[in-house]
Structure 1
Amino acid sequence: MPRFVDRVVIHTRAGNGGNGCASVHREKFKPLGGPDGGNGGRGGSVVLVVDPQVHTLLDLHFHPHVVAPSGKQGAGSNRDGAAGGDLEVKVPDGTVILDEKGRLLADLVGAGTRFEAAAGGRGGLGNAALASRARKAPGFALLGEKGQARDLMLELKTVADVGLIGFPSAGKSSLVSVISAAKPKIADYPFTTLVPNLGVVSAGEHTFTVADVPGLIPGASQGRGLGLDFLRHIERCAVLVHVVDCATLEPGRDPISDIDALEAELAAYTPTLQGDTTLGDLAERPRAVVLNKIDVPEARELADFVREEIDRRYGWPVFEVSTVSREGLRPLTFALWDLVSRYRAAQPEIVPRRPVIRPIPVDESGFTVESDGDGGFLVHGVRPERWVAQTDFTNDEAVGYLGDRLARLGVEDELLRLGAKAGCAVTIGDMTFDWEPQTPAGIDVPLSGRGTDTRLEQTDRVGADERKRARKARREQQP
């Protein structure tokens, strides 16, 4: 038997970018062929796409780990690595995406609506793209970026025109089964319906959808019974219909008290989609009342007795129906379509928001430097952290290139301004360095062998001399 899953946590991980290639063109009679290393391919992204043929999150419930393919490494002869293809995950219409802290990220409504759940990493540049006046034949390439990884919660909010609400065993599932082709489970015990049932109803030339929301009881807005698990499925319904059991034998139950109890729960429920521009607040939705089971003589008498009272108190249209004898069903379907069409027409037209472009000021450095409280410094910024992640620290030339980039960005000057001393710890991203301010960094780089940097060699020699002097001083201080 198929299962209905309307809430799931998925673990998404986009593909990593491919590494760049450090290669030199080799050909007979051309000893100085120049760098020809290609760039790495972009990592694939994880994209959620609304598919009208998907009605549940069941697949993601059983396969919550979603991993996109990584990009390929570049190669010589200026061959770029292949990009990892985006992984499209199909989700039902009406899926809401929340982050780890419960903040709303996206509300996917409408076939084809897309959301990038995790962005793929960019591929690293090959040495052909890194060649410049200072570095005519770089002996290094940049590493690919890591793909984005994050956990997301997906919640399904049923997209239906009419939502049927009522106490357990009021006849909601039976009503859906007789006015549409849906075949929900029907039995004579409370809480038979454990999942929302969706049916398509025809009213002449028009069609609309009806959702049977599982039975609500007093206290549902605080989580009692099925509670909040299914209250959210009424948020998108244009019309709410109270289905009242006029043949109930439970003490203390009558149509008026049933409607009052459910209205109190709707008033206490706070929708998770605040400011939904498609339908507005729950209190503003049109209502209708269906007095069900009038095929029972006592139920028909009760329906005739309370009909005027409901009309006087609420002003909502009232319909007397029987799902057994099919009495009153045809006028009900046409009346519901009329309510849906009038309410939809009264809603303001949704105008797509235009993207707002906010240029970065010309004096924006793109990074910040702060003290860590222990004599070290923390450098934050998208560019510095990305550059560090792309650097191969086993290659001295790549490390020197990183120093040049940070110097041009102004990190060196900012550290000096804040009073950084030689040897203090400087952390960028997940890497911590011993800062050497005496190491020159700039655009003009002294020529050296491929994969080496004379500045780092000088720094190593200076550091070795200092260590020797420190050891000698300690020996002289010993008695």
Structure 2
Amino acid sequence: MTTFVDRVELHAAAGNGGHGCASVHREKFKPLGGPDGGNGGRGGDVILVVDQDVTTLLDYHHSPHRKATNGQPGAGDNRSGKDGQDLVLPVPDGTVVLDKQGNVLADLVGEGTTFVAGQGGRGGLGNAALASARRKAPGFALLGVPGEERDVVLELKTVADVALVGYPSAGKSSLISVLSAAKPKIADYPFTTLVPNLGVVTAGSTVYTVADVPGLIPGASQGRGLGLEFLRHVERCSVLVHVLDTATLESDRDPVSDLDVIEAELREYGAGLEKRPRIVVLNKIDVPDGQDLADLVRPDLEERGYRVFEVSAVAHKGLKELSFALAELVGEARAAKPKEEATRIVIRPKAVDDSGFTVTREEVGGEPLFRVRGEKPERWVRQTDFNNDEAVGYLADRLSRLGVEEELMKAGARNGDGVAIGPEENAVVFDWEPTMMAGAEMLGRRGEDHRLEAPRPAAQRRRDREAERDEAQKEYDDFKPF
């Protein structure tokens, strides 16, 4: 049964925004009191939060689909819908968020660090919010925006100061168990360690963490054995410790060749591991042949520039010197690391000439198609109820004011050409008429209700009725059959 998972694919779906309400206030002796439709509630976000009590991504391995709640629709009497509840997902410290293409979206390090994996949709405006001096009684409301759906990859990279690397059964787990209070599984067969183990070590006034990484073998950087799965846990460590077995029973292995193999795998993996400070530990000197082999290879290792420590995890030999040497290197690494502010705000201003949308020409079946892309026009389309002519006219007004019609004309669009607003898989397509947008502006009294206007004088009402009767008679005379 899987107990440790450090890489999962998460399907995050934020909540949809609630629809706005189209309503007219009614009460005794005042049947038409004006629009009073409330706004829809905002959809809930999907938020990743670093939690120190979480050490694995196992929950998301079993349940990868997570969805926040939707916002509630608005109601009459100016009642706004309830906002959807945010879905907070705890993740381990050191979790990296990537998109499906492998691009890093966020690096979550530190208790309480957050990342919004899915943005909730905004609620639609009710007709009360859409009312204006020109549009006193809107007969429509805006729809809620669907919540963002995103597939992200979560990768856990252990946050530790020191990483113990080496062949399987080199004694890494035994070493971390005596240096710290960690209790890893220890046995006399390869690949005993299947998950990274963390231990906290105190050396004088310095406190640091040590990670016991599963054993590496030749080809680990290409995915052989467990190497590729767990080499990522070495990336954040400031110091690397080569644990070499001086009492191996395999005839084709020795400490120097083991070191060369592991160094080659670290270089192949990259991620700057070749630049990290190193210490070599010759383990198992409590075995007679182990001490002899350590004495034999130590001069060669020191000649290469390594600091070498002879230790015995079983006999507790050389541990104090090793722990203080690691504390010294960790202190130097911490001092050299630039201090970062707790919160970094990245400002990406828009270009001065950014219109907020683009118009591109495409060819579909030999016919031209002009595609409009942009956050505003696409959101406005999603908020429009196309069964309501007044709502469609309101959309036309907004697009005209944004300058979409003007850009279409500049791009060479002609009467009857196809225009698509949105991406190819989810676009609203219509035949463009150059007067359509302007015509929407010409409907200047859209949304007004004469029943809400002040009463007209009797003489004015009589003249209006006579004018309407004369106009109707003229239309009949023009079109009556001969």
How far, CA to CA, are the matches of 2:418 and 2:40 in structure 1?
A: 32
| Corresponding residue for residue 296 of structure 2 | 305
User: Is 1:328 the equivalent of 2:318?
Assistant: yes
Per the alignment, residue 379 of structure 2 pairs with 386
**1:395 maps onto 2:392 in alignment:** no
Deviations 1:350-398 (A, max 9, x none): 356443252552x532222222212332111111111110000111110
1:411 counterpart = 2:404 = yes
Distance 1:340 1:19, change over 3 A: same
Matches within 5 A, 1:11-410: 11-271=11-271, 281-314=272-305, 316-351=306-341, 353-361=344-352, 364-373=354-363, 374-410=367-403
Q: What is the identity, as a one-letter code, of the residue corresponding to 2:428?
A: M
Aligned to 1:475: none
CA distance in 2, matches of 1:267, 1:286: 14
The Cα offsets for residues 30-49 of structure 1, whole Å up to 9 and x where unpaired, read as 23311111111111111111
Aligned CA distance change for structure 1 residues 448 and 88 (closer, same or farther; 3 Å): closer
Name which of structure 1's ranges 46-55 and 371-380 shifts more when overlaid on structure 2. Answer: 371-380
- Change in Cα spacing, 1:98 to 1:13, as seen in structure 2 (3 Å) is same
Q: Do 1:48 and 1:116's aligned partners in 2 also have CA atoms closer than 8 Å?
A: yes
Query: What is the one-letter code of the residue matched to 1:379?
Result: V
> How far apart, in 2, do the equivalents of 1:448 and 1:69 lie?
33
Give the 3 Å change call, closer, same or farther, for CA 169–443 of structure 1 in structure 2.
farther
Q: Secondary structure at the match of 2:147?
A: coil
CA distance in 2 between counterparts of 1:333 and 1:376 reads: 69
1 CA distance for matches of 2:447 and 2:397? Answer: 15
CA RMSD of aligned residues (A): 1.8
419 and 305 in structure 1: CA distance in 2 versus 1, 3 angstrom threshold = closer
- Describe the SS at the equivalent of 1:145: coil
1:463 paired residue number: none
Tell me the distance in 1 between the aligned counterparts of 2:59 and 2:25.
49
CA distance in 2 between counterparts of 1:135 and 1:428 reads: 26
* 1:205 CA drift (Å): 4.3
8 Å contact from structure 2 (residues 214, 227) kept in 1: no
SS of aligned partner of 1:237: coil
Per-residue CA deviations over 1:325-347 (Å, capped at 9, x if unaligned) read 11222222222112211221122
For residues 225 and 56 of structure 2, the distance between their equivalents in structure 1, rounded to whole angstroms, comes to: 22
Partners of 1:134 and 1:443 within 8 A in 2 = no
Q: 1:168-208: per-residue Cα shift (whole Å, max 9, x none)?
A: 11011111122222221211111121111111222244422
TM-score, L = length of structure 1: 0.88
Instruction: Judge conservation of contact 2:93–2:111 (CA < 8 Å) in 1.
Output: yes
* Aligned residue in 2 for 1:445: 444
- Secondary structure of 1:441's aligned partner: helix
The C-alpha deviation readout for 1:86-143, integer Å capped at 9, x for no partner, is: 1111000110111011111111111111111111111111111111222101010000
Task: Describe the superposition over 1:6-53 as per-residue Cα deviations: whole angstroms up to 9, x where unpaired.
Answer: 000010000011111111111222233111111111111111111111
The residue type paired with residue 368 of structure 1 is: T
Tell me, in whole angstroms, the C-alpha distance in 1 between the residues paired with 2:351 and 2:276.
44
Q: Closer, same or farther in 2 for the Cα pair 1:242/1:132, shift >3 Å?
A: same
Equivalent residues of 1:43, 1:147 under 8 A apart:
yes
The alignment-based identity, stated in percent, is 65
| C-alpha spacing 1:255/1:391, structure 2 compared with 1 (3 Å) | same
Q: Does the Cα contact within 8 Å between 2:25 and 2:36 map onto a contact in 1?
A: yes
Amino acid at match of 1:165: V
Alignment check: 8 A CA contact 1:134 1:444 kept: no
Structure 1 CA distance, aligned partners of 2:386 and 2:44? 26
Query: 1:432 aligned to 2:435?
Result: no
Gaps of 5+ in 1: 272-280, 451-479
Partners of 1:205 and 1:129 in 2: how far apart? Answer: 62
The offset of 1:434, in angstroms, is: 2.5
Q: Which residue of 1 aligns with 2:472?
A: none
Q: Which amino acid aligns with 1:335?
A: A
Alpha-carbon distance, 1:449 to partner: 7.8
State whether residues 96 and 106 of structure 1, in contact with CA within 8 Å, keep that contact through their aligned partners in structure 2: yes
Instruction: Give the alignment's TM-score, normalised by structure 2.
Output: 0.87
- The worse-fitting range, judged by mean Cα deviation, of 325-334 and 41-50 is 325-334
The one-character-per-residue Cα deviations of 1:293-340 (angstroms, maximum 9, x if unpaired) are: 1111110111122222211212x3221111211122222222211221
Q: Distance in 2 between matches of 1:294 and 1:357?
A: 58
Query: 1:443: Cα distance to partner?
Result: 7.1
Greater shift, 375-384 or 134-143, is seen at 375-384
Question: Residues 390-410 of structure 1: CA distance to partner in whole angstroms, max 9, x if unpaired?
Answer: 000111110111111111112
Q: How many residues matched?
A: 439
Alpha-carbon distance in structure 1 between the residues aligned to 2:185 and 2:236 = 24
Contact kept, 8 Å, 2:73 with 2:81, in 1: the verdict is yes
Return the offset for 1:2. 6.7
- 1:251-270 Cα shifts (integer Å, max 9, x gaps): 23211111121111111112
Give the aligned residue type for 1:267.
Answer: R
**Does the Cα contact within 8 Å between 2:139 and 2:447 map onto a contact in 1?**
no
Quick one: which amino acid aligns to residue 234 of structure 1? V
1 CA distance for matches of 2:408 and 2:333? 62
